[in-house]
Amino acid sequence: MGSNIGDRIGFIRNAVEEIRKDVHCKVKLVSAVYETAPYGNSKQPNFYNAVIMISTNYTLEELFSFLKGIELKLGRKDSVRWGPREIDLDILFFDEIIYSENNLKVPHPGVHLRDFVLVPLVEIAPNLIHPELKEKIIDICKRNSEKNVIQKLSEKI
């Protein structure tokens, strides 16, 4: 999850709280929050990013719809690709599923290239195996070439 408009930490906390309140989801692990340089479009404010692990009885498509609903509820507005956003909630992995339909691709494309995803993910699931690459997240993170992470924040979510 990420935010770079307004109360960035507030948007992330509120998103996690919305997920916690849902009877179909259980938040199991939460990473630290990291300040990161923007990816793709560098002429925008820095992001705050974090990763959570949940268990759910939603299907992949139901979870995607649920998360998009949270984005709207929290005030996300349409923007350009890789542009500024109030809150962005992505599904990185869903068990070992490999899925690609319409606007939903799992594993999330490019996850293996983005340290702003890998660094917090290593905190909570270093031994998670990427189902396409067949490698541990910690090993992917070690060789990652992108360097967007600026600092780990002391704020907790």
Q: Which of 13, 22, 90, 139 is an active site residue?
A: 90
88 catalytic? Reply is yes
Q: What beta strand segments (E) does 32-108 contain?
A: 34-36, 47-49, 52-56, 99-101, 104-106
Distance CA 117, CA 60 (A): 20
Residues 6+ apart with CB under 8 A from 109: none
Q: Which of 8, 76, 114, 115 is an active site residue?
A: 76
Question: Side chain identity at 115, as an amino acid letter?
Answer: D
95 catalytic? Reply is no
Structure tokens at 157: 């979510």
143 catalytic? Reply is no
81 catalytic? Reply is no
| Overall residue count recorded for the chain in this entry | 157
Q: Which of 13, 78, 81, 88 is an active site residue?
A: 88
Q: Which of 8, 85, 114, 115 is an active site residue?
A: 85
Active site residues: 76, 85, 88, 90
